[in-house]
Structure 1
Amino acid sequence: MKDALTLHRALLGWEAVHEIVRLPIGIAHADELPRALGLPADRCLVTRVFACDDSICDGSGGGDPGGGLGRGGRDRRSQGRRFLAGVIVRAGDRPPGEAVRRAMGARRVVPARPDLVNAVTEYAAGLVCPLLLPESMPLLIDRRLADGPPGPGVVYTPTGEPSTALGIRGHDLAALCQAKPVDLAAVADLPAPAPRRRAPNTPDRRRPVG
């Protein structure tokens, strides 16, 4: 599983200024960061993970108690993308599911199961950092965070472990994680973001960030 040391090594490689902060109390979820750090919620970021499904039912088995499975267990839904997506918001905020669905261009979006989050992101569920995520996992960020005040303002994210947090300048984090800024209150006309094709959350080359 990824942890503070994994992040620290990656950020050193990217020559990004950062700090791994030891928390005075252990946390089980990123929403607890403001209390643990004594900071306002807009300085602490949470990555919500959603399971997205583009498959559609062919209409041949409405009401099927087998959940859409035909004889022999054959799935009657047409093939489509099934993927996880992340949404970066401030601690305590929960993006509307319909807003996430439209932004992702998916037919169905639900919060991802903890075991699925663990397996795909390799972070502890609830403590997902927006860095080093799989390249196939689209990532959005609340535009209010992306358009925050310029300057060296530091934000904090989980590291995947309950005893530490990552402190990094907000604009550095946005550049490194390659998240797409979206207005989560008005996303009806947005195209779905394509999966990232580079290595996970990795800049094109090593260079100082910011």
Structure 2
Amino acid sequence: MKGALDVHRMLLEHGTHHEIVRLHRLVTCADELPQALGLPRERCLAVRMFSADDQLAALIVRVDEAPPGRALLPALGAATIRPAAPDLVNAVTDYAAGLVAPIPLPACVTVLMDRRIVDSSDPDEVVYVPTGEGGTALGIRSFDLFTLSGAKPLDLSSEPHRPAGAADLRPPVHIPTP
């Protein structure tokens, strides 16, 4: 499995200023980062993974947010979408499913980022994301994260958000194609 060292090496190769922070307690998912770091949730981001048709997509959002998958359909050109199964996430990304780092991700994963993060953040503001390990987090400028992740901004401002831990018991969304 990939972890903090892999993230660190990639950022060193790109000459990107960053910090790998050792947490005082282990976390099992990105939504626990604000408490573990003692930071407001606005400074911590999570990667939500989705299976859309035959592709895997990563959506970078603020922790505790889980937008409905249908919001991603137009950007992905997909007809169906559902949260990706943890074993699929582990196998494709080589990260622990709840702690997926937004960088580096395989080329086969489409990366999207909530446009509100891109538009509202000071480009020099440091945000914190998982590293794939429960004992560390990555501190990186929001602009560097956006650039290095290759994320495409996605407008989620009109989408209702449910808490990240809330179960989505609805069947996968299917949009008929003409």
- TM above 0.5, yes or no, is yes
- In structure 2, what is the Cα distance between the partners aligned to 1:130 and 1:47? 6
What does 1:1-210 correspond to in 2, within 5 Å?
1-53=1-53, 82-185=54-157
Instruction: Measure how far apart 1:38 and its partner are.
Output: 0.9
* Structure 2 residues not aligned, in runs of 5+: 160-178
TM-score in terms of structure 1 length: 0.73
Structure with higher Rg: it is 1
The aligned residue for residue 66 of structure 1 is none
Per-residue CA distance 1:87-113 (angstroms, 9 max, x = gap): 000000001121122321211100000
**SS of equivalent to 1:152:** coil
Within 1, Cα distance between the matches of 2:71 and 2:157? 7
> How far apart are 1:121 and its partner, in Å?
0.4
Alignment root-mean-square deviation, CA:
1.3
- CA deviation vs aligned residue, 1:124-157 (integer Å, no higher than 9, x gap): 0010011111112111100000112334210000
When the two structures are superposed, what TM-score results if normalisation uses the length of structure 2? 0.86
**1:140-194 Cα distance to aligned partner (Å, 9 max, x none):** 100000112334210000000000000001111111111000112459xxxxxxx
Cα distance in structure 2, aligned partners of 1:151 and 1:108: 34
Secondary structure of the residue aligned to 1:130 is coil
Going by fraction, where is strand more abundant, 1 or 2? 2
1:36 deviates by 0.5
What is the rounded CA distance, in whole Å, between the counterparts of 2:46 and 2:61 in structure 1?
Answer: 5
For 1:2-52, what per-residue CA distance to the aligned partner results, in whole angstroms no more than 9, with x for missing partners?
A: 100111111111000000000011000001001111111111000000001
Q: Answer whether contact 2:8 2:20 (CA < 8 A) is retained.
A: yes
CA distance, structure 2, for counterparts of residue 91 and residue 164 of structure 1: 16
Q: Percent identity over the alignment?
A: 55
Cα distance in 1 for partners of 2:32, 2:69 equals: 22
